[in-house]
A and B are shown apart, each in its own frame.
Chain A
């Protein structure tokens, strides 16, 4: 018993050291989404290109899609835009959420940089963003055909991210959706 007590500090320390070593290669700022596995939140917001038209959750159901939260004030969004364009041309369904932005600036932006979005939701007040747990653009959600959020990626999507993380999931969802 006494021997155990004497060795205990050493054992505890070694356990802590292992934990700290693991911690060196984790990212404490990386925050997984609380919405994974839950349905995409309900919303009723204007479409960016047709302000008179109101989009709701029903509009994004039916097929797997990426929902990309973006804004013109976000420099990283500009960085990932060409990638989104390429993906859209390859047939990937991408919807956009224009987060806390100015409508005319956003429309101008899309005209000059091309528009990869099937539907573009104008979330000027950020209410949808709040319901999605967005804390900074760009963020991209992957939803399945039933509107359930399956993944959330925070940051710029580049070819590597698409290839390694998002494409496998998207393909799986497409196969799931096939009747």
Chain B
């Protein structure tokens, strides 16, 4: 009973710490050589994932590894590397997991092309549905005699209501 209680409280405390990392914004004061470099840093920090956190980018996470990775990005930017080189550096060490933009390769064809394919398939079905409806409209037979009379009757009864 005691162990269960202890585990419970520990579990909550741990999950609480995980969540509270989130609340501590990773705000650091750094100098950048130019506005362009600052913008690149922001962009990279937004698309690189913190390897240890519960789905946060390194810009938002306050865990030590996120701070280390941010420092490394700054170092590489200052050293003149391109965005692609920095991303490549991170992926070589941490795997594709660390990038929020999935690569476009054999594994992710379904991911990147699936929605477009779905849209096209849907458009085809939509087109055939509309074509069918159009045909039905032009093929609609004119009213029969009984139907005409009934129509007149209905219109008269609703007209009396309006008055």
Contacts and interface: CB of A to CB of B under 8 A. Distances in A.
B158 to A, nearest CB: 38
A134 B96 CA distance: 15
Interface in B52-74: 52, 54, 64-65, 68-69, 72
B30 interface: no
Interface string A20-37: 000000000101111100
B94 interface: yes
Interface residues of A, number: 15
B95 A132 contact: no
Contacts of A90: none
B52 A130 contact: no
Interface string A135-155: 110000000000000000000
A34 B93 contact: yes
A131 interface: yes
Nearest to A73: B64
B93 A130 contact: yes
A31 B51 contact: yes
Given A31-B51, A126-B68, A132 B93 contact: yes
Contacts of A130: 68-69, 72, 93
Contacts of A136: 52, 65
A56 to B, nearest CB: 19
Nearest to A41: B93
Contact of A133 (B54, B64, B95, B96): B95
Contact of B91 (A29, A33, A34, A100): A34
A32 B95 CA distance: 8
B97 A31 contact: yes
Contacts of B54: 29
A34 B65 contact: no
B92 interface: yes
12 contacts: A31-B95, A31-B97, A33-B95, A34-B91, A34-B92, A35-B93, A100-B64, A130-B68, A133-B51, A133-B94, A135-B94, A136-B52
Highest count of chain A CB atoms <10 Å: which of B51, B93, B96:
B93
A71 B96 CA distance: 27
Contacts of B69: 130
